[in-house]
């Protein structure tokens, strides 16, 4: 795994005229090396690649890391980095500007003199947008677990439970079925709270005749899933069924038309235009979707401002919604892979209007 990914990164560095790159992001470190420990950095040069970590992780790193040399670093890892850099001439070293604080940057710059530090943004993240078959297999399992969790909670949820009760049941199910954790703080938003797009589970008691929105995912073997479904309990206000049908139409329309070559802006419009046509445009205030992978929010974006072009191998969410303050809201979300001709769904939970 490491060799192929490091080779792709090395090609980018060559194109940028850089002699090396220091990777400090934990996600990017794991992506390039396979190392799951909490401390360490990756150094990629023109000829070699290294995973630098401390004494505590040497055994773990030697078992997990393939295609990189494992090095136990000095008390200050940057001193070890200095010794591994190419010697002679003006050495240019890229660093992750979105991960490194200003104080860390100044310390690195001083320690690595006369090498020059060059700020880079999303260099590894741009590689991570394209999932290989191994990654897609893991993401499918994470999506399957999200689907199974939703099926499970439909058998458990009932009026009188609090949103946190439901959240805990979902978390327990995911953890006991292989997940490291949930992908993010689970949203269980019932009644008027379902109009809160990020209404994480609260102490509110779930009642009769209201909607409940679940937005959750499983973090499994380093990769996230992200699923949203909205259900009815009892006989909610008919207006909620109306907006449910609109959101579902918008989501299904987007899923049937998204294809490679489209921009994130064009994908967003597929869902947004339908919601706007029904008069609810002002109640859909977030983007239609986002990239998904090792982090729950990655590139590319499906939004009104996104010019990124969708390409095969990218994984994104599609999640339009309508939120009516004081009444409730609806969001429906699936995870998809962009293919050569269209998309492939990773999540498969029913989107039929469900009444418990």
The pLDDT tens digits of the residues spanning 243-272 come to: 999 999 999 999 999 999 999 999 999 999
| pTM to 2 decimal places | 0.94
Strand ranges for the chain from DSSP E:
20-23, 41-45, 49-53, 69-72, 92-96, 116-120, 181-182, 187-190, 210-216, 218-220, 223-224, 227-233, 289-291, 298-302, 315-318, 321-324, 328-331, 334-338, 343-345
175-211 confidence digits (pLDDT tens)? 999 999 999 999 999 999 999 999 999 999 999 999 9
pLDDT score for 87: 85
CA torsion sign for 33, 37, 38, 40 is: negative
149-164 confidence digits (pLDDT tens)? 999 999 999 999 999 9
- Residues 42-57, mean pLDDT to the nearest whole number: 95
- Residues 34-43, mean pLDDT to the nearest whole number: 95
CA torsion sign for 148, 321, 262, 13 is: negative
Phi then psi dihedrals of residue 241, to 5 deg = -65, -35
- What is the DSSP-derived secondary structure letter of residue 333? B
pLDDT at position 2 over 60: no
319-334 confidence digits (pLDDT tens)? 999 999 999 999 999 9
Rg (CA), the chain: 23
Q: Which two tokens stand for residue 297?
A: 């929010």
Closest CA to 251 of 150, 320, 173: 320
Query: Cα separations (Å) of 157 from 59, 147, 150, 281?
Result: 44, 16, 10, 31
70-80 confidence digits (pLDDT tens)? 999 988 999 99
Q: Which two tokens stand for residue 218?
A: 């499983």
Which string of DSSP letters, residue by residue, matches 59-117? HHHHHH--SSEEEE--SSHHHHHHHHS--SS--EEEEETTTS-HHHHHHHHHHTTTSEE
Residue 131 to residue 338: CA distance in whole angstroms: 10
pLDDT at position 53 over 90: yes
pLDDT score for 90: 87
Question: Are the C-beta atoms of 65 and 34 separated by less than 8 Å?
Answer: yes
- What is the DSSP-derived secondary structure letter of residue 194? G
272-300 confidence digits (pLDDT tens)? 999 999 999 999 999 999 999 999 999 99
pLDDT score for 88: 77
pLDDT score for 1: 46
52 beta partners? 41, 71
């Amino acid at each position: 795994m490491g060799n192929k990914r490091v080779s792709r990164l090395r090609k980018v560095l060559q194109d940028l005229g850089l002699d090396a790159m220091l990777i400090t992001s934990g996600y990017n470190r794991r992506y390039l090396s396979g190392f799951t420990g909490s401390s360490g950095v990756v150094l990629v040069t023109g000829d070699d690649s290294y995973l630098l970590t401390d004494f505590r992780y040497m055994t773990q790193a030697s078992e997990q890391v393939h295609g990189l040399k494992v090095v136990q670093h000095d008390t200050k890892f940057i001193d070890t980095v200095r010794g591994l850099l190419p010697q002679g001439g003006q050495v240019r070293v890229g660093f992750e500007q979105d991960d490194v604080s200003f104080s860390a940057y100044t310390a690195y710059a001083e320690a690595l003199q006369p090498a020059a530090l060059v700020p880079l943004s999303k260099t590894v993240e741009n590689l991570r947008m394209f999932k290989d078959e191994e990654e897609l297999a893991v993401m499918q399992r994470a999506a399957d677990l999200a689907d199974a969790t939703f099926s499970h909670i439909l058998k458990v949820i009932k009026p009188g439970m609090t949103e946190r009760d439901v959240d805990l049941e979902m978390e327990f199910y995911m953890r006991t079925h292989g997940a490291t954790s949930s992908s993010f703080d689970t949203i269980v938003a019932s009644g008027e709270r379902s109009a809160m797009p990020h209404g994480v589970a609260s102490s509110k008691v779930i009642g009769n005749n209201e909607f409940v929105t679940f937005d959750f995912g499983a973090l499994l073997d380093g990769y996230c899933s992200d699923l949203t479904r909205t259900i009815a309990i009892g006989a909610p206000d008919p207006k909620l069924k109306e907006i449910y049908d609109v959101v579902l139409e918008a989501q299904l329309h987007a899923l049937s038309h998204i294809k490679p070559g489209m921009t994130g802006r064009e994908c967003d419009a597929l869902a947004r235009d339908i919601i706007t046509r029904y008069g609810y445009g002002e109640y859909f205030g977030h983007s239609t979707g986002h990239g998904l992978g090792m982090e729950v929010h990655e590139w590319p974006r499906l939004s009104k401002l996104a010019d990124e072009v969708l390409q095969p191998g990218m994984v994104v969410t599609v999640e339009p919604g309508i939120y009516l303050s004081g009444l409730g809201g609806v969001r429906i979300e699936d995870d998809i892979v962009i293919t050569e001709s269209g998309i492939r769904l990773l999540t498969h939970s029913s989107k039929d209007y469900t009444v418990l």
